[in-house]
Structure 1
Amino acid sequence: MLINKQNLHMVFEGYSTAFQKGFEGAPRFWDRVAMKVPSGSSSNAYGWLGQLPNVREWLGDRVVKNLRVHSYALENRTFESTIEVKRTDVEDDQYGVLAPLFGEMGHAASEHPDELVFSLLAGGFSGLCYDGKPFFAEDHPVFDAKGVAAAVSNMQTGTDPAWFLLDCSRSIRPMIFQERLPYKLTTLTSDDDQNVFMRDTFLYGVRARANAGYGLWQLAFASKAPLTADNYEAARLAMRSLTGDEGRPLNVQPNVLVAPLSLESDARRLLKTETRVVMAGDPATPVVVGNEWAGTAEPIVTAWLTS
């Protein structure tokens, strides 16, 4: 192939098509648990988190609530992925064999928000949220009508692999994916680019600016207890019993269960089967009963639950 501007553009278009095909074909789950927030600067401030509005009967003047100020902010991070292609491979028409590699680049770019969001979720036992407490804590402050704080928990302790119950039914989600610039493929193939002049290679790279953060802790519950029907029931009850400031029920509706690979069978058995086995008086004779938890949440099993 003659190396000129037109032919290099054709090669790049082919690589871009493979990249986009890989990007669109990759399975992803971050958008089930995180709200996507556009960013127009180096960071976004989320001082409004924790202020869930309620509706009251209008008697007399409006009652104006002062927002409690929080200092939670997310700094955008820059991410990249770069590969080098020999110029001679393009000259000798060998560029086509690299198309699957660009498809994998697109696949990895599409999966990257999953990695950010779910690894952050797993790190929620130490990562701080808007109220200054770890996202999963036993002492989140909730204020009554007199401004007195009570400690509220959104976690179960234990020593098993952690699993997470989330309410993803609202406009505000438990997690945040903040996007400054989307994942984009670019290239350096000009004769006067340093890589071409010095090493006789072309560079193709992906760049994005984004970050992940914590939304409302009230919409997430973590457990390190075994993933059993009893513990799942206790987690649901704890979430659905939550009240906001001034004692108003939040009406939390947990509908997503996030589990690591090691708990995949437990999660699917709990949420996808119509019956379950319980131990009666005689441990040697277990009883099969209807599974009241089937269909109560969507299981998401992910390899990114690492902190």
Structure 2
Amino acid sequence: MIVNQANLQAMYKSFKVIFNQAFEGAPSMCDLVAMRCPSTSKEQGYPWLADFPMMKEWIGDRVIKDLSAFDFTIKNKSYEATIGVDRDDIDDDNIGLYTPMIQGLAQAAKEHPDILVFALLKLAFTSKCYDNQYYCDTDHPWGPDGAVVSNSGGGSGAPWFLMDLRRAIKPIILQVRKTPEFVAMDKPDNEQVFMRKKYMYGVDDRKNVGFGLWQLCYGSKQTLDATSYAAARAAMMSFTREDGVTPLGVIPTHLVHGPTLESAAKTAIDAANQAGGASNIWYNTVKTVNVPWLA
């Protein structure tokens, strides 16, 4: 292939089609547990997290909660991945060799939010959320007269998380400032081209993650069995509004865990019968989700 601007532009368009097709076809898990929130600046504040959305009877003036004390902000970060195409491969019409690499770029871009979301979830017991408590903690301030609520089962084993994922608001925030964009550095006067015979192609975006509502997640490091599952489920379903009386209506829908707990999750939830043959009362009460990034 003659290396000129017309052919380079055609190659870029071809690579972009390959990238877009691979990106659309790549699997992703993060949207199950994370809500995508658009961002228009370098950081975004989420004071509204402190006000769990609930309808109430309108008597007199509207009840407006002061959210000024909740300064929870997520700062965007920039991410990129790049490959180089050797000029000699263009000369020799070996461009097809790069198709898997372009597809790999797309797949990496698609799964990167998964990596960020579940890496954050692993830190749920040691990283703070909007109320300045650890996301999975024993003493979230919630309710009248200084009451506290626990969404942590404690323990020291592999973590697992019981979640209510029926709502528009999810346990994790995926903040998106710029969606993945396929870009090229393929002008003859670019340094990489001039000095190293390399035409550069890559993807970049801007995003970050943060914790959403702790009320929608119960984390535990206890042994995953019927006893610990029942305790976690009961705790979640007993969450109330800040009046300490009215139920929040939280119902666990998913059990999220890592690969080391797959067998335990299947035994506790997915098996219709216990080892002795008796019926499993927790059978299919939630959907189990095995997440490789929770390893």
Q: TM-score with structure 2 length normalisation?
A: 0.95
- Aligned partners of 2:19 and 2:102 also within 8 Å: yes
Q: Please state how far the C-alpha of 1:66 moved relative to its aligned partner.
A: 2.0
Give me the whole-angstrom Cα distance separating, in 2, the residues matched to 1:162 and 1:203.
Answer: 41
> Gaps spanning 5+ residues in structure 2: where?
none
Give me the whole-angstrom Cα distance separating, in 2, the residues matched to 1:268 and 1:72.
Answer: 37
Q: Which amino acid aligns with 2:293?
A: W
Give me the whole-angstrom Cα distance separating, in 2, the residues matched to 1:203 and 1:302.
Answer: 33
Match of 2:38 in 1: 38
- CA deviation string 1:172-226 (max 9, x = no partner): 1110000000111101111111111111110011101000110001111111111
Q: Which amino acid aligns with 1:261?
A: P
Quick one: which of 176, 180, 191 aligns to 1:179? Answer: 176
Match of 1:102 in 2: 102
1:185-200 alignment, distance < 5 Å: 185-200=182-197
Give me the whole-angstrom Cα distance separating, in 1, the residues matched to 2:86 and 2:14.
Answer: 16
Confirm or deny that 1:129 pairs with 2:126.
Answer: no
**Measured at CA, do residues 265 and 22 of structure 1 come closer, stay the same or move farther in structure 2, by a change above 3 Å?**
farther
Match of 2:286 in 1: 297
Give me the whole-angstrom Cα distance separating, in 1, the residues matched to 2:168 and 2:153.
Answer: 26
- Aligned partners of 1:29 and 1:300 also within 8 Å: no
Q: Tell me how many residue pairs correspond in the alignment.
A: 293
Match of 1:10 in 2: 10
Task: Give identity over the alignment, percent.
Answer: 38
Cα root mean square deviation, aligned: 1.4
Q: For 1:288, what is the secondary structure of its paired residue? A: coil
- Aligned partners of 2:51 and 2:65 also within 8 Å: no
Q: Please state how far the C-alpha of 1:5 moved relative to its aligned partner.
A: 2.1
Match of 1:164 in 2: 161
Quick one: which of 255, 274, 277 aligns to 1:276? Answer: 274
- Aligned partners of 1:195 and 1:203 also within 8 Å: yes
Q: Which deviates the most, 113-122 or 297-306?
A: 297-306
Q: Please state how far the C-alpha of 1:68 moved relative to its aligned partner.
A: 3.2
- Aligned partners of 1:14 and 1:99 also within 8 Å: no
Q: Which deviates the most, 116-125 or 50-59?
A: 50-59
Match of 1:258 in 2: 256
Match of 1:282 in 2: none
Q: Please state how far the C-alpha of 1:127 moved relative to its aligned partner.
A: 0.9
Give me the whole-angstrom Cα distance separating, in 2, the residues matched to 1:108 and 1:53.
Answer: 35
Give me the whole-angstrom Cα distance separating, in 2, the residues matched to 1:232 and 1:19.
Answer: 42
Q: For 1:227, what is the secondary structure of its paired residue? A: coil
Q: Please state how far the C-alpha of 1:273 moved relative to its aligned partner.
A: 2.3
Quick one: which of 198, 222, 226 aligns to 1:225? Answer: 222
Give me the whole-angstrom Cα distance separating, in 2, the residues matched to 1:37 and 1:53.
Answer: 17
Match of 1:82 in 2: 82
- Aligned partners of 2:180 and 2:204 also within 8 Å: yes
Give me the whole-angstrom Cα distance separating, in 1, the residues matched to 2:240 and 2:50.
Answer: 12
- Aligned partners of 2:28 and 2:111 also within 8 Å: yes
Confirm or deny that 1:244 pairs with 2:241.
Answer: yes
Q: Which deviates the most, 15-24 or 252-261?
A: 15-24
Q: Which amino acid aligns with 1:97?
A: L
Give me the whole-angstrom Cα distance separating, in 1, the residues matched to 2:283 and 2:87.
Answer: 57
Q: For 1:290, what is the secondary structure of its paired residue? A: coil
